[in-house]
Amino acid sequence: MKIIMLGAPGAGKGTQAKQIAAKYQIPHISTGDIFRANIKNGTELGKKAKEFMDQGLLVPDELTCDLVMDRIKQDDCANGFVLDGFPRTIPQAEALDAALTKIGEAMDYAIDVDVKDESIIERMSGRRACLNCGATYHIVTIPPKKEGICDTCGSALVLRDDDQPETVKKRLDVYHDQTQPLIDYYNKKGILKTVDGMEPMDTVFANIVAILGE
Which pLDDT score, from 0 to 100, does residue 31 have?
83
What are 131-152's pLDDT values in tens digits?
999 888 999 888 999 999 999 9
What does the alpha-carbon distance between residue 32 and residue 43 come to, in Å, rounded to a whole number?
15
Sorted by where each starts, the structural domains of the chain and their CATH numbers stand as: 2-118+166-212 (3.40.50.300)
Supply the DSSP symbol for 175: I
From 18, 48, 160, 193, active-site residue:
160
Asked whether 84 and 78 are in contact (CB, 8 A), the reply is: no
- 160 noted as active-site residue: yes
pTM score:
0.82
Q: How confident is the model at residue 171 (pLDDT cuts 50, 70, 90)?
A: confident
From 71, 123, 128, 171, active-site residue:
171
- 127 noted as active-site residue: yes
- 88 noted as active-site residue: yes
What are 85-98's pLDDT values in tens digits?
899 899 999 999 99
From 2, 88, 123, 128, active-site residue:
88
- Average pLDDT along the chain: 91
- 47 noted as active-site residue: no
- 36 noted as active-site residue: no
Q: How confident is the model at residue 175 (pLDDT cuts 50, 70, 90)?
A: confident
**Over 80: is that where the pLDDT of 125 sits?**
yes
Neighbouring residues of 114: CB distance < 8 A, sequence distance ≥ 6? 7, 11, 194, 195, 196, 197, 198
Please state the rounded mean pLDDT for residues 126-130. 91
From 2, 13, 123, 128, active-site residue:
13
From 71, 123, 127, 128, active-site residue:
127
**Over 80: is that where the pLDDT of 214 sits?**
no
Q: Hey, what long-range contacts does 205-212 have (CB within 8 A, 24 or more apart)?
A: 205/16, 205/19, 205/20, 208/16, 208/20, 208/111, 209/23, 211/109, 211/111, 212/1, 212/3, 212/20, 212/24, 212/109
